[in-house]
Structure 1
Amino acid sequence: MESRDKVLAVQRMQDFIEEHINEPITLKMLAEVARYSPWHAGRIFKELTGKTPFAYIRARRLTQAALQLQASEKPKIIDVAFDFVFGSHEGFTRAFSREFGVSPRRFAREKGNPGIKLFMPDRFRDYYLKLQGGAEEMPNNANINTVFVQVVDRPARKVILKRGVKATHYFEYCEEVGCEVWEVLTGIKEALYEPIGMWLPEKFRRPGTSEYVQGVEVPVDYNGDIPAGFEIMELPPCKMMVFQGPPYTDEDYEKAIDDLRAAMKSYNPELYGFYWADEDGPRFQMAPMGYRGYIEARPVRQLNIKE
């Protein structure tokens, strides 16, 4: 389990990058907000995010540039390049093409490309130690001391989702609807967080549709386009107890999921003033990524407001 200080330092660096994405950023600047030496700041940043600070910044700038190209009616490539601190049209085009496999001009002309994978790791910080938004750090159960547990508040929101037929987990879902759903969801720029796999409570399901679905949460006032074959529904505010396992290697992928679910099964939320509230919202999983550990969340309520 990553130390609190390390996670918070990397979060501060991520926040600084997002706030200054259109400006030059140096390792010295990141080190100052991390409160570590430049060498140590760079090392822990790569350890937690999987990228060096400068590879991360470049990937974020290219993603933001892609979104700007997609949103603009007649974008000027050179203007977008300068907006995201690329020194020339040529340098930006080379970097964009390497990152996404398509030139920025073609991407702009075709108004996006559902096949490209945007780099949006800023969503991860919602599941780390939170400094805002009402999160409460929870003590770890002695039997699951390799799992970080916290409670986060989810506001009223909408979710864009695609339902299956009988699927109860990811692999059944992919067999029913295909595996391209995630890429479509990743392209929804108004998303509050990254896409998630969800197990819907009965009240959120429709007859003849699956328990397991994939979707992405958007603001409650969202009125944008809904991709073909998808639908949108409202979710009420709720609290989610988020479980995050330790980092793992690709070959330990299944074990990481099994271990975390065993921890969730044995966890007693009443010891910390909560109880399971599965009808309040979908239980969800985030995309498994070894460097951050497997993450899953389940709705809870505080005991003192139990009806």
Structure 2
Amino acid sequence: MTLPRPDRLADLLSWIEDNLDQPLTLDAIADRMALSPYHFSRLFTARMGRSVMAYVRGRRLVKAARRLTSEPEARLIDLAFDCGFDSQEAFTRAFGRLFGVSPGRFRQGYSATPFEGQYPMSLPESADVDVIRLPDLVSLDAFTVAGPSRRFDGATKATIPQLWPALIGALPFAGQEPSWATYGVVWAADRSEGSFDYMAGVRVAPDATPPAGFTTLRIPAATYAVFRITLNGGPLHPQVKAAMDRIWGELMPASGLRVADSPDFELYDSEFAPTRPGAVIDFHVPVVA
């Protein structure tokens, strides 16, 4: 069997986008690619990282989110049926998983663009990313962060982006410092297992009580080597992965520095826009000064 070229799949994604209001089925979509549902499902999942019907549901939710902001009178039950859900409750649960907030709160003013790693509109792009080590070490005083966190390993780390909507949907909250900078913090790494804790967080006062389900972490004073990742405007997650592979596999060993036993973190400034070419992430690695 000759697999369709990537441009055919790109054309299919455009066709799906134009037909989200139609009763799309796996059989109908596979037929458009002249493949059996079985072979098409394997192809689509391998290329896009999710099943075709999960992709369709996600795109319908994004369209519903745009209607929430552009059509103030739109009823949730109508949006639910348009998205293919049997009930408003099921629609609300799925919407919350994707955007991190309920449809009602989303209507009050949120962007209708899901975070990268969920339901992208286009094919994944190559992770051509620029990363350098800044010349000076940086010393920071201790500070506290709070946000949703989970334990990840090699099999689950691709789901890290799912933490970010849960964080953004809760901002601002009592005790948060007056800054919209965010932190992707890694700690308690077990290199033998390849597991670690990761938090999507913001700075908070040491005595802050964060929203239910959030973790609070005190990051001790430390000296850091800072690696600046400059993005190309494509999908965020593959670029960060490629940058981390280069930092830990090449730049950090070449630095001659020794890693300290303390959390490392990605710092996203308050103006960070993941799809803007030239946006930067400063990755802080604690080192023995």
Verify same fold: TM over 0.5: no
Kindly indicate which of the two structures has a greater share of residues assigned to helix: 1
Normalised by the length of structure 2, the TM-score is 0.43
